Amino acid sequence: MIPFQDDITGVVLAGGQARRMGGVDKGLVEVAGRPMIEHVIARLRPQVSGLVINANRSLDAYRKLGYPVVPDASGDFLGPLAGICATLRAARTPFILTSPCDTPLLPHCLADRLWQASRKADAELAVAHDGERLQPVFALIHTELSESLERYLGEGGRKIDRWYEMHRLVTVDFSDAAGSFVNVNDPRQRAEIEALLAAAGEEPGMSEDHR
């Protein structure tokens, strides 16, 4: 177990509407023989003490994966901040580590790098940067920020980067692993992701624990 693992709850964000996927629940779309969210869990779970799934539909399907499912407080699909807010309230650890459900290649070192940068900078938030752009839904967030986020959402705020800028923020360079943030936004991208998973040596059904 990594030294800081007990302090972090992993959060898989699966609460969106997936308009570009024709409304199909993205986390349940099969990639390389299993639901996309299972690939995400296989990479995220070893990095954290526990894991929750943020979802607003297909709740029974997500519960069958064996983890708590936390819906948004509102059923209005208000974006990733609503899911982050709900899981900040639900977490029993000082931090949450977030990842979307459609990024099967997320870095195995995500928690480590974000944690180290956060400690060094005395930051409340640590967010991944792929060398070209911020990856705002890959973030380590202190749970003490839950009240701040509730207020921001209550005032109509929706922009994730604007809320981040209200707090002590450190961005973390992942330019050496930029491909880890590739996501599946439409059915045509599944083949590309499957090829990348194969190149990484991850066969269908293979978890990080067995590699």
Is 209 a member of any domain? no
Is 208 a member of any domain? no
**What residues of the chain score a pLDDT lower than 50?**
203-211
Is 176 a member of any domain? yes
Is 54 a member of any domain? yes
Strands (E), 56-133: 69-70, 95-100, 125-129
Q: Is 0.85 topped by the overall pTM?
A: yes
How many distinct structural domains can be found in the chain? Answer: 1
109 token code pair: 């070192």
Range of the domain at 55: 5-201
**Among 75, 91, 58, 71, CA closest to 13:** 71
Is 32 a member of any domain? yes
Is 207 a member of any domain? no
For position 166, which CATH number holds? 3.90.550.10
Place of tokens 């109509």: 156
Residue 75's pLDDT is: 67
Is 93 a member of any domain? yes
Residue 72's pLDDT is: 94
Residue 114's pLDDT is: 98
Give me the torsion for CA of 141, 12, 128, 167, rounded to 10°: -20
Residue 71's pLDDT is: 95
